[in-house]
Amino acid sequence: MTVDPRFYAPQGALTLGKIAELTGAVLNGDASVEITSVSAAATGRRGDLAFLDGDGKGDVSVGADVSALIVNEANLKHAPEGVPCLVTPLPRHFHGLVAYALFQPRHLIWSGDDRISPEAKVHPGAIVSPGAVVGPGATVGEGTVIGANAVIGPGVQVGRNCRIGANVSLICALVGDKVTLLSGVRIGEAGFGVTGGPAGMEDAPHFGRVILQDNVTIGANSCIDRGVFDDTIIGERTKIDNLCQIAHNVVFGRSVVMAAFGGISGSVTVGDGARIGGRVGIADHVVIGDGVNLAASAGVFRNIEAGETWGGTPAKPIRQWMREVAWLQKQANPKKTT
């Protein structure tokens, strides 16, 4: 995954020598190598600087083409032979610092009095309601309605026949056709991640995007965060209720239905046709199979196979959960039959 220049303005390349100077890291390798972008280690490509942080235990995947790594001592052993390394105790922090030297998020450098940027492309068959603003490089397709006081950030692509509600904000996002975002939806904000810096905890930088495929509907005041480097993706015809939270790097399949207060942690995968009841939470990196049903209030901490129905916290197969609820009620209330 490469950083999308529609959302992040490239500031020019940096040599590894310059990066060593900026970060104070010790360089093992050729100082003249040019870095033009940042990525996660596993998906790094030519020109990318990636990082390895943590205790260095367990498997680590590094893309064969990555141009350089910034690592701590514990991870130095994971660097493929011939890949230049910058060594520092705070690799993720300094990777972020380099990222911001290479790219400026366009929504943070957008100013002026133009409600609709002259550099935006709004189809004459689209409606832009009063107070809505459309950033430079954004496109709005035919038949689309942008609600009052909504914000379409720089570079955002909105397809045809979409309904964008009042006070919605959309940044770092690509939106298909016939997508409906009810009022107050937040698309493309940085996800929640904390990294160590010299002065304490810092926000992990995010250079990814949100992809909303055709016919997706998102309920009022729901939030979908952009990926760290990759994309957060919501598949075709998926329907999400009000006040839901979808974290960075989540991938939802097609025709998923999720009721209000659903909370999906980072890097979760949800299969096609899954049905997620109200107030369900799913822990990070969990994989939910196609057609899974989750009962209201379930708290899911494990992968679930396609077609199963689970409930409870921690979630388990629904019959097992119901047996526990019934058994406890019977044992604890011996004289009652309710």
| Catalytic residue positions, numbered | 248
Q: How far is the CB of 15 from a second copy (least distance, A)?
A: 27
Q: Which is nearer to a second copy, 78 or 206 (CB)?
A: 206
Q: How far is the CB of 64 from a second copy (least distance, A)?
A: 35
Q: How far is the CB of 317 from a second copy (least distance, A)?
A: 8
Q: How far is the CB of 90 from a second copy (least distance, A)?
A: 15
Contacts 24+ apart (CB under 8 A), 67-73: 67/33, 67/34, 67/35, 68/16, 68/19, 68/29, 68/33, 68/35, 69/41, 69/44, 70/19, 70/23, 70/25, 70/94, 70/95, 70/98
| Residues whose CB is less than 8 angstroms from the CB of residue 323 and which lie 6 or more positions away in sequence, other chains included | none
Q: How far is the CB of 83 from a second copy (least distance, A)?
A: 32
Tokens describing residue 311? 């409930």
Q: Which is nearer to a second copy, 64 or 201 (CB)?
A: 201
Order across the sheet with 217-218: list the strands: 127-128, 145-146, 163-164, 180-181, 217-218, 239-240, 257-258, 275-276, 293-294, 309-311, 316-317
Q: Which is nearer to a second copy, 44 or 154 (CB)?
A: 154
Q: How far apart are CA 135 and CA 154, in angstroms?
A: 4
Q: How far is the CB of 320 from a second copy (least distance, A)?
A: 6
Q: Which is nearer to a second copy, 50 or 190 (CB)?
A: 190
Q: Which is nearer to a second copy, 56 or 278 (CB)?
A: 278
Checking DSSP bridges between strand 217-218 and strand 281-282, what pairing results, if any? unpaired
Contacts 24+ apart (CB under 8 A), 190-193: 190/225, 190/226, 190/248, 191/225, 191/226, 191/227, 191/228, 191/232, 191/247, 191/248, 191/249, 191/266, 192/225, 192/247, 192/248, 192/266, 193/228, 193/248, 193/266
| Residues whose CB is less than 8 angstroms from the CB of residue 333 and which lie 6 or more positions away in sequence, other chains included | none
Of 232, 234, 230, the C-alpha closest to 213 is: 234
Q: Which is nearer to a second copy, 171 or 233 (CB)?
A: 171
Residue 77: strand, helix, or coil:
helix
